[in-house]
Amino acid sequence: MKRFIGSVLLMTALFSGIAFAGGSKDANAANKVYLITMDQMDQHWVKVNEGAEAAAKELGNISYTWLAPDVKDDNKQIECVNNAVAAGANVIMIAANGPDAITAALREAESQGVKIIYVDSAADYPAEQFLATDNKAGGKKVGETLLAALNAKGVTSGMIGVVGVNAATQSTVLREAGFKEAFAGTDFEVLETQYSQGDAAQAKDMAANFIAQGCVAVYGSNEGSTVGVGNAVAEAGGNVIGCGSDASDMNKTLVKNGSLLCIMGQNPYQMGYLGMKSAAKVLAGETLSPDYVDTGVDIITKDSL
């Protein structure tokens, strides 16, 4: 039984801002696996690629390519999907930008015999398997960690800002929902999410605006948003608390220096590694089970670092 959805395509790095961002090649034309992520910017996607590449090398009979837009953009991701199909992809592993935009491209890919596997974020279209973090649970854990820290400071009410990516990316929307759930029944007010498209500079400005409004805390739902939150908190000083998602080197540094209370750490390497192993099974004609693979989450604090 199938499940879930994704999107994206590649033209040339020069003219469309889409690149072949690595991969191991093999002469076996019947085993072409493409990884298509949301962008090339986040260290998270670099780790997904590293896991996929390592598994491809272990398997030995996979021709592997990583395609990614230079920025989060539905049309560029669709181009990546179309380019992978045109290049003879047998399996596409994809982190969907949103639930709907790339469904037509995925439907066309499947009509050409391409198998779809989701990593990190699914679209609203059936796939062989979905490997990802339980994002809602992870977001709730961050919220609970923040709530405990606020209570420990004697802060029992106040406004909390949220800096997200966009309203369509399933993984970050689920994190925001889980984060907000942690404050249900309290006297805290979680304000309407502001969307930065994952751009750290935009996120910093949005977080600074939340702080200027008197927020007691600000949350970022992905790597870039969290970097922006941490930098805004560092500049503001005072009693505001920052927290967020994705264990990039920069975010770990912000946790270490106290600009962020905590971050939700995923296992992107596992997503890529296990996703490639699943791709190999699909190529061998196997049916994948289970439909959904939880790749785990950790809450990283200064103490756990």
Segment 50-61, tens digit of pLDDT: 999 999 999 999
Residues 154 and 138: their CA atoms lie apart, in Å, by 25
Choose the weakest-confidence range: 39-43, 95-99, 151-155, 200-204: 39-43
* CA nearest neighbour of 35 among 198, 266, 271: 271
Average pLDDT on 148-158 reads: 97
Spatial separation of the C-alpha atoms in residues 35 and 10, rounded to whole Å? 11
From the number of C-beta atoms within 10 Å of its C-beta (0-12, 13-18, 19+), residue 298 rates as middle
**Structure tokens belonging to residue 222:** 């992905």
DSSP type of residue 288: P
Reported as a pLDDT band with limits 50, 70 and 90, residue 289 is very high
pTM of the model: 0.81
What percent of the chain has pLDDT above 90? 86
Q: Which residue type is seen at 296?
A: G
Residue 154: pLDDT band (50, 70, 90) is very high
* Largest interatomic CA distance in the chain: 63
Residue among 218, 212, 165, 220 at smallest CA distance from 188: 218
Instruction: State both tokens at 276.
Output: 């490639």
User: pLDDT tens across 157-171, in order?
Assistant: 999 999 999 999 989
In 3-state terms, what secondary structure has residue 158? strand
- In the DSSP assignment, the letter for residue 161 is E
Lowest mean pLDDT among 28-32, 78-82, 125-129: 28-32
Token digits of residue 208: 């600074």
Instruction: Give the rounded distance of the alpha carbon of 17 from its chain centre.
Output: 20
